[in-house]
Structure 1
């Protein structure tokens, strides 16, 4: 009897061990399942432009996940606090705003969205219901190449969460939506020549900026005393573009030029920007009427980055496209804005290359060359160093991103985006106009390159010819 009991006990222990092993395998399988996911679109980064793409794709029925390498969401708009919105106009002074970004500008101009918390509320309304994970870092990518076409696809990426866990996600489409190439830096793409091709020297970028925040400015006095001057007096004293409205001011180039920047202050650019904010305050108090009691009103979390590495796209916009008012069969935006090349370390005050009427921005300028399911959002647009001075403007690329999000929702199946046909784009354009009131075809613009020679057009594209 005792032997039987021992045998039964041994069998029971064996069964328990077997069940425990099964449970362990089940737990591991569940864990691996939890760490793997599938979606239609993955947006890397939380800059506003790509958020418009995400929102549009979700509204069109797609599943979207946002993975943000930054510690906090919101990018340039929220964390960089670049909350002055530049509106593009054509030569007839007609606004070129369309789509969701038009609503933002309208509320901005009405004064409904001006403060940091109001921008945050707006941003949060766009990401509502969309999974967003901040503080991630991409550790590896699974890419495949088509043997016939030689085009590549990203099938999945593995990333580390801010808590140290590894996860893998698969998707049909991938969107680069950071200002530091978090996704495409690992794709071995060819970098387009940057601003150094215009100003000379080594590889360079337009200046990044810290948004300086001040309070206790007597704005009425500031506006009154500035606006009582004649146009010539303003130009002589403050600079040619100086303007003061009841809410905003810009220009004052002479005031800035009279301030000697400290090139040796702090190693990190952000800390250097904070230090310069402290240093410039007494200068502004002395130079600007109404600023006598101004104080620093905090600092943004990181810099406003205008320009970083950009990579070859299926079509690269040139300055002659912009100044010629060129339109494309695959337009995803109608852009406009002066070709404004901001200063660099070696060329302090930058360059104004010309004022386009308006121009088209093709889908192909948002598709990196050689990849069929990767999309570039915002300032990653494929534009030459000169054309980038206008194409980079947030309103231009916000419309493009929203349109691409709508386009993805209307594709019948996973597609090579660079292979969409003109007929397919015509259908998309009709849908955009009927449902969203967005017009991208049938638009005409003034050609300001009509009288230029081929050599002059080449010089324009190199930034060596400046059009009035």
Structure 2
């Protein structure tokens, strides 16, 4: 009898736990609290309202604005046309960060960006998962809707008075924000307004046609012996390092940058549409690295086909870059491509 009771109590407990999970999942789903693909919960709003601030897109810069506005007591809504959050930082895996320093080497970043750079330079934020955790902490408590379709904007004078969209579930929504910010990497809001872009970098190279800055293909590799790489670099005399890697090249336990002689010795297979510049290398641990160096031209961020073509050209170049680095970088002898996880 005792064993029977214990067995039934155990079964009842398991059923109860499963029921609780099911009910909890249903409740969370009803209120729109869903786990995002990169970790963290995002709250999907389920009513039409008049927020003080609407931020279109989830590029990092706009998330600081959204957080600051929330701390000031304003109602904030973040809208994302893509199915995942984080823009170039997380989905583009643009994980090598360039800091701004004064002549004495003091970091000039301020606010939340300073906190990010400090954690980054200390090595506590290195991988995509690390950045995703930081990102979700940054927008905690701010309503987010992703995978939306922007349908209509009503404009009076120079002011957008309403924004109509379809949410990820296909429901029609409308908001009337006091302040609206385009924080997308493909100018989703600006393109909907059909306004003429301001001249500037589009004319950088003097072409009669519209020009764009290059895209960057983030190259991910595995099989690196970072300890060997760092040790061999600093074993050299200053003159040897300068001759082999360039005078401004540098390596520590987290990052490496420079190496112009290595880059200039590489022969591109597509010289017209690609360029390999100085290597910015991020050590992600476990032999994995991310390199920000391969530039792709002819990218119009508002046209998906140009992005896809650029990615294909870069992918075709990757094996040759891998072979070149194997020959010229200590610790890179067993370098391999780290799967199809690259982005522009």
Residue number among 145, 162, 184 corresponding to 1:133 in the alignment: 145
Summarize deviations over 1:223-247 as a string: whole Å, max 9, x none.
Answer: 2222333444434433443221221
Once the two structures are TM-superposed, the CA of residue 35 in structure 1 deviates from its matched residue by 5.9
- TM-aligned CA distance change 1:132 to 1:299, over 3 Å: farther
Residue 293 of structure 1: aligned partner: 334
- Picking from 77, 94, 97, the partner of 1:85 is 97
SS at match of 2:219: coil
Q: Does 1:205 align with 2:212?
A: yes
Structure 1 residue ranges without an equivalent (≥5): 1-33, 146-151, 304-468
Q: Which residue of 2 aligns with 1:381?
A: none
1:64 corresponding residue in structure 2: 76
Contact 1:194 1:205 in 2 (8 A): no
**Greater strand content:** 2
Kept after mapping to 1: 8 A contact 2:204/2:211: no
Which of 68, 73, 76 is residue 88 of structure 2 equivalent to? 76
Contact 2:218 2:342 in 1 (8 A): no
For 1:219 and 1:80, how far apart are their aligned partners in 2? Answer: 24
**3-state SS in 2 of match to 1:268:** helix
Q: Which runs of 4+ in 1 moved over 4 A?
A: 264-267
Which of 44, 47, 64 aligns to 2:59? It is: 47
SS in 1 for 2:217: coil
Tell me, which stretches of 5 or more residues in structure 2 are unaligned?
1-45, 275-306
Assess if the C-alpha contact under 8 Å between 1:51 and 1:126 holds in 2: yes
Check the 8 A contact 1:212/1:299 in 2, yes or no.
no
Check conservation: 1:79, 1:301, Cα contact below 8 A.
Answer: no
Which structure would you say has the larger RCO, counting Cα contacts within 8 Å and 6 or more residues apart? 1
Q: 1:140 to 1:206 in 2, by over 3 A?
A: same
TM-score under structure 2 normalisation? 0.70
For 2:178 and 2:237, the matched residues in 1 are separated by 58
- Quick check: 1:103 aligned with 2:115? yes
| 1:54, distance to aligned residue in structure 2 (A) | 0.6
TM-score, structure 1 as length reference:
0.53
Could you tell me how far apart the structure 1 residues matched to 2:334 and 2:143 are? 44
2:227 & 2:204 partners in 1: Cα distance?
41
The whole-number CA distance in structure 1 between the counterparts of 2:142 and 2:118 is 25
Structure number, greater radius of gyration: 1
**1:193 matched to 2:199:** yes
Q: Tell me which residue corresponds to 1:234.
A: 241
Residues 202 and 213, structure 2, Cα contact 8 Å, conserved in 1: no
2: CA distance between counterparts of 1:207 and 1:237? 28
Q: Deviation digits for residues 9-41 of structure 1, max 9, x if unmatched?
A: xxxxxxxxxxxxxxxxxxxxxxxxx66332111
- Deviation track 1:37-82 (CA, whole Å, cap 9, x = no partner) reads 3211110000111011111111111111110112200111111111
Deviation at 1:196, TM superposition (A): 5.3
- Does residue 248 (structure 1) correspond to residue 255 (structure 2)? The answer is yes
